[in-house]
Amino acid sequence: MQGELSKKLFKAAKEVIPGGVNSPVRAFRNVDGDPFFVRRAKGCRIEDVDGRSLIDYIGTWGPAILGHAPTVLTNTVHEVAKNGLSFGIPNPFEVEMAKVVCEWVPSVEKVRMVNSGTEATMSAIRLARGFTGRDKIIKFEGHYHGHVDSLLVAAGSGALTHGEPDSAGIPRSLAAETITLPFNLPERVEEVFARCGEEIAAVILEPYPANAGFVFPHPGYLALLRELTTKHGALLIFDEVMTGFRLARGGVQELSGITPDLCALGKVIGGGLPVGAFGGRGDIMDHLAPDGPVYQAGTLSGNPVAMAAGLAQLKELKKQNGYQRLEEIGQRFEDGVRGIIRAKGLPYRFNRAGSMWCLYFGDAEIINVDSVQQGDFEAFRKFFWSCLERGVYLAPSPYETGFLSLAHTESDIDETLEVFAECLA
C-alpha cells in the first residue's frame, strides 16, 4: 500500500535511520509491510505524501484528542512561538499548567514537567526508590512504561514484537530488581508482598492497560493494589500517560476512585508536542531536587510552546464538554462494531472506554497480555490491510489501542462502520 513517493522515502530512511523509523511500532513489521509517509493531517484525516486521504484512528497515538491541527492549537503555537521557542528559564505557562494538573488529577498535589512519558515513568520510579529507601519494584506483563531500563521487562507495545521483550542492553543486576507479574491475578501480588513486601519501593501499572490491546482491571483489583502498597509502605504509581486527560479530566483515578501516590502523565497535555509530567503527594514530590536528594532535570522541561499548546487543548476540552461528546461518539462506534460482530457471528471481542477502544480477533476473555496473545493475528493482518485499502487507518499492530477524537463526526463513524462490515465479511 506504499505509494511511489513513500517507497522512495522509506528506501532513503533505511540508509540513515535504524529500520527506517524513529519508533519501532511504526515499522509495519506486525502486518508484513512497509510504512507510508504523511505530509499533513487535519481533523480526523491524514494525507500521505502520495495524496491518499485516510480516516485516522491513531491520533498521534493519543494526543490528538481534538483532532489534528485544530485552529485553537495552531493559533496558540504561532502566537507563543513568536516570543521565543525555549528559554531554559521559568515561564508563566508552566505554572498555569501545573495548577491545572493539580486541580484536575486527584492524586497530584505537586507536579514536575518533563519531555516524554518515558521520562515521567523513569523519574517516578527513581523518586519512589529515593523516598522509600528500597530498590525493588513490581510491574505487570504487557504494561509498557517507555524505554526505561528497569521497566523494559516483559513490556507491551512495540517491545512485544520487535526483538525480545527484555531488551538487549539492560543489565541483569538492574532487571533483577524488577518483579514482573501477570495482570488481574490478585493472588500473585499477594504472594509477592507476603514474601518480600518490606523490600518493595513501588508498584507501577497502567490502570487500564493500553499497550497490549485495551484491558480493564477486574472489580476490586486496583483497590487491592492500593491496600497492599499502603500496608507494606510501598508506593502505588499509575502510568496514565495514555489514559490521563483522555478518558476523563482525572483519568482512571477519577473513574475508579482509587488514588495512587504518584502518577505519570503525557500525550494530551502537550497538544501534540513532546511533553510528559509526573506528580503526586506533596511530601513525596518534595524529595526532588532542589528541595530534596532525588535528582531530576531537563533542559526543555516546561517548554513554553508545549505548555501553551497543552493548556489550549485542555481549555478547549472543557469548553466543548469534550468528555461527554467523546463518550457519545464512542458509544455509537461501539454499538456499530458489536452489531457487525453479532450479525456475522464472529468470535471477536470489543473493549472500549470513552474514546479508547480495541477489537480483538478471538473469543478468549481479555484479562491480560496472555489472553491478548491468543488472538488470531493473521485475521488482524488481513483486516488491517483491507481497512487501509478502503481509507481507514488503524494501528499496524494488534497490541495497540485505537483513539477517537472530537473531530470524528457521526458520518465519519458510520463510514468507518461500513468499511468494517465489508472487511469483516
DSSP-derived letter for residue 359 is E
Query: CA nearest 416: which of 347, 335, 348, 349?
Result: 335
Q: What angle do CA 364, 365, 368 make, to 5 degrees?
A: 105
CA-to-CA distance for 336 and 7, rounded, in angstroms?
35
Place of cell 454499538: 335
Shortest CA distance to 35 belongs to which of 22, 181, 45?
22
- How far from the centroid of its chain's Cα atoms is residue 173's Cα? 28
Distance, C-alpha 44 to centroid of its chain? 19
How many Cβ atoms sit within 10 Å of the Cβ of residue 289?
A: 10
Q: In terms of Cα–Cα distance, which of 327, 400, 405, 390 is closest to 359?
A: 400
Cβ contacts of residue 307 below 8 Å, gap of 6+? 91, 93, 94, 96, 97, 113, 275
Where do the DSSP E strands lie in 89-223? Answer: 110-114, 136-140, 178-181, 200-205
Could you list the active site residues?
144, 239, 267
CB 317 within 8 A of CB 65: yes
Question: Dmax over Cα atoms in the chain, in whole Å?
Answer: 61
